[in-house]
Structure formats: structure tokens, C-alpha cells
Structure 1
């Protein structure tokens, strides 16, 4: 039997960019989390600087607090990392970074490596950037497969990419890459901005929805639940109806309104997700709803 969604909500260091990683792990453990999605950025886990021993130290620090790294997410939206770059040197160095990230994911004990399509030039045919993305993702997923690692692809918002920005784009990219170890990420904000729904994702991908970023937005943003306008109850109900059994990360960013106190924002979000899950589950077996009062 699949554990309730609240038990599969992963914490992350997305909101802790300006705080020590140990502070993040302490907070996640204090909030009852057992899983963490690790963002591969400085100062916590900068891929170009992180050696195997340091990665194993992060894994041990997490384990000491009852946490497991379930997804490794190297930085890949900010310049200069771009596996679809029209600049040959930038693209080559980006691909090397992702290969190294795959190795680090193994040292961290993660089952998943998080990927995006990169971005083509804004003044070139979209097909050119698309072709480079297909080749790049094929190279990275092929190397990850040799290591026994599963990869997941997240559609981005249009301000972040001009390639995979919708569920339909992601379906086409998975088909073009044709890697058996490549699944998709359902990001609730990216989906809302693109006009996609949870139902769309499961219709297109089924069991290949392998990771979720469960975050509020208006419709964009990386907001704590209750600070945006998305319907958490509908999202949680749809995930439950489709039997989603993977992890869902609350993706709060540390450069914005939550940087000074990320724990309280996560705590509010966890409480909202738990309430939504209880509603989606309906009455417990044997429970009888109280009779309505006469009017």
C-alpha cells in the first residue's frame, strides 16, 4: 500500500541557499521529513567543486538525521550551464558537468538525477536548439544508465527555456531521446503557467511521472502553500487518484521572501498538504458522517 502523500513530501535546500546545509537538514528532520531533494549549488553542493568524499559526507550528514537524498538537482537554468547552448564550449562543459553530477548522485545515494532541456538561441530556429537538447539528454541519460541511475526531465517556464515548456513538449522530448531511464517531473507551477493539469501529465506519461515539485504560484513563483492561487486540494486529489507513489518536493527558493525563515514557510506548506491529503482520502473506514441538522 502506498504511503500517504504527506509521508512522501521531500524537503530541500532550495530555500536555504544563504544558510548552512546542516541547518537545512536539522529543520527537515525536525519537521518529520525522511527524504531530501538536494540542489547542487554553492555553497552546499557545487558540482564543479564537489569531490566524492564531500558527497559522501553530505550523505552521512543527512543519514545521521534520518534523511535520504532521493533526488539530486544540479543547477541548470542559470548561465553558463546549458546543454542546448549554441556555443560549443559552453555546451561541452555543461555536458561534462551533468556527467559529473550523475557520478555525484551515486555518491549521495540518490536514485534520481534531475534534468531540464536547456535553452536554444532566441535568434535561431527552434529545431536547432531542440536537436542539441535531444543529443545532450541522450548523452547524459546514457551515462546515467551505465551507473544504474534514473533521470527525470522537468518542463520549464518560457522565461527559462524556449524548448521544453509544456507537457506536450516533454512527451515529444522523451520520445525523441528514447531513453528507458528517463521520466518526467510534474512541477505544479510550470504546469499551471503552461495551462497543463495533473490529468494531462498522467494522460501523457502514466507511470513515467516519477517526481513532483509541489509548490504554489500565482500562477508563477515558488510560493509556500497558501501564498499563491493554485488549488492544492485538486492537485493532491488528482495525484492520489492516479496512484502516484513517488516523492513530492516543496520547492521554496532562498533568494526571495522565504530566505530569512525557510522553516516556517515549509512548515505551513506541510500542514496544508496534510490537510489536503486528509480531504482527498475521505472518511476513514467505518466512519459515519454526522447526520445533518433539521432546518
Structure 2
């Protein structure tokens, strides 16, 4: 494969902009009304919280997905309150327990991927590397076993504040873990913010990439803003996708108080580079 399909690379919507406005079920219906069929759900209370979803609500979402021909590609627990490599065993246990519930929810809804942030270390005096890696390997082994048992997979994301923030670091981590099932969600804004050229980073992870996140950012402030308002080189991302033949879902991860408008602006901007057109 040498490039996108005739109608362009697939575009989905990350629900970040809606987490304080709509429930996950209402967001799915709203995006379907706007013509989208591919979604990444942020697991954030009150938008979506597995611990609070009863069986009836789970069935209602599953029915909505079927009735509206929607596909949730990723469940994404944000990393603000979670940490798989915390020195605190209680925090590590809580994080793993939450991820287990996310994996189980993904299985209920037929979601193929759960996103895992590798975890954060202390910025001034991090724990010794052997401890951090031990905690990380133990957690990933448990979560991947559960994911495999439930017919889905784990993707790791390049996050600036995580202890593995780069494309090369993620690839080396997967090699170190020796797990061929693990994939990567590559975020172009995150890469740009830490000084990594996103086109080069994407080429580095292409053999493991399962999802791509697109949004814009400046270099002086980490952001996930409307495409065209920052410095991310989306042309280089498109070139990397063509060169590698990568054909995976692209999620517009726009964080905005005006989500509908700024998502539409962002989608129009990338449609001219090879992604599929904005739904009518």
C-alpha cells in the first residue's frame, strides 16, 4: 500500500471537548447526527465512568452503537489521576483496578483498543529506573492478559509528562517487554511539544501504530487546539503515512469550548492533505 484509500484516511472524533457537557451516550448520538461513525471515548467522570455504569446503561450504549452504525475505536483513561509507576503501591493498585474495569467495558462494547499511559515519575528526583520498569512491566503484563482474554488490545501513547515520551522510547519499551500484542497511539501534538518531528516519529512507530491523534499545539504551551492555530507539521504526518502505507484511524483530539466548530475546522484542514472529507 502506497497511500490513502481513494476516499482518504479515516477520521474519527475524540470526545475530549464534550466531557463536561454531555454523557458518553449523548456524545455518541451527537457525533452520529453530525455524520461521524468513528469515535474515541475519554474515560472521565461524569462523561464516562465504568464504576458508575449499570447494566442498563451499558446495554443502552451498545444498542446505540448498533442502531447508529457507530464504532468506538479506543477507550482512553486520561493520565491526570492515574499512575502505573507511582512509588505508592496503593496508587498503582488503584490505577490497575481502574484499567481493569475499562478493559471490561471495552469488551462489553466491542472496542478493539484501550489506551494506556506508561506513567509518571517525579520530575526532580525520579525513582530508580529498575523500580520504575519493574512496576511498569508488572502492570502491562496483567492488563495485557486481561485484554487478550477479552479479545482486545492495549495501545501505549507518547505523552510529554510520561516516563517514555518519545517514539523511539515507546518502540524500545515494547521490544523490552517482548510483547507483540502491544500497539502504539501516536500523538502528533505531543511529539511536537517535546521537540520530536511528528513525521519522523510516526515513521519510527509505523509497524506498531494502531491509532493516530491529531491536534495542534504551540511550543511554549502544551495544547490540543484547533488545527491551524499552532506549529504541528501535518503535511509531514501525511507524508509519513503515505511513505509507510499506514492505514489506521486518525482521531481529531481537539480540546475546545466550541467543540463542534473547531472539530469541523480541523477536519477541513486535514482533508486537503489526504484524509477523508468532512461528513455532509
CA distance in structure 1 between the partners assigned to 2:62 and 2:224 by the alignment: 26
TM-align CA RMSD: 2.3
Choose the corresponding residue for 2:235, options 227, 230, 233: 233
SS of match in other structure, 1:186: strand
- Give, in angstroms, the shift of residue 229 of structure 1: 1.7
CA distance in structure 2 between the partners assigned to 1:189 and 1:89 by the alignment: 32
Describe how 1:36-185 pairs up with structure 2 within 5 A: 36-75=39-78, 77-79=79-81, 81-122=82-123, 123=125, 124-157=127-160, 160-161=161-162, 163-185=163-185
Match of 1:15 in 2: 17
Q: Report if aligned partners of 1:83, 1:91 keep a CA contact under 8 Å in 2.
A: yes
Choose the corresponding residue for 2:262, options 257, 261, 265: 265
CA deviation string 1:123-176 (max 9, x = no partner): 32244223211221121112211212111100111xx22x11111221121122
Larger displacement relative to structure 2 (235-244 or 266-275) = 235-244
TM-score, with structure 1 as normaliser: 0.83
CA distance in structure 1 between the partners assigned to 2:275 and 2:12 by the alignment: 18
SS of match in other structure, 1:172: helix
CA distance in structure 2 between the partners assigned to 1:16 and 1:272 by the alignment: 21
Give the number of the structure with larger relative contact order, counting CA–CA contacts within 8 Å between residues 6 or more apart.
Answer: 2
CA distance in structure 1 between the partners assigned to 2:9 and 2:166 by the alignment: 28
SS of match in other structure, 1:20: coil
User: What count of residue pairs does the alignment treat as equivalent?
Assistant: 269
Which has the greater radius of gyration?
1
CA distance in structure 1 between the partners assigned to 2:6 and 2:40 by the alignment: 18
Match of 1:29 in 2: 32
Q: Report if aligned partners of 1:10, 1:35 keep a CA contact under 8 Å in 2.
A: yes
TM-score, with structure 2 as normaliser: 0.87
SS of match in other structure, 1:100: helix
Q: Report if aligned partners of 1:188, 1:213 keep a CA contact under 8 Å in 2.
A: yes
- Relative to structure 1, the CA distance from residue 121 to residue 53 in structure 2 (aligned partners, 3 Å threshold; closer, same or farther) is farther
- Give, in angstroms, the shift of residue 246 of structure 1: 1.0
Q: Report if aligned partners of 2:117, 2:159 keep a CA contact under 8 Å in 1.
A: yes
- Unaligned runs of 5+ residues in structure 1 are 280-295
CA distance in structure 2 between the partners assigned to 1:152 and 1:69 by the alignment: 14
Q: Report if aligned partners of 1:233, 1:277 keep a CA contact under 8 Å in 2.
A: no
CA distance in structure 2 between the partners assigned to 1:48 and 1:19 by the alignment: 20
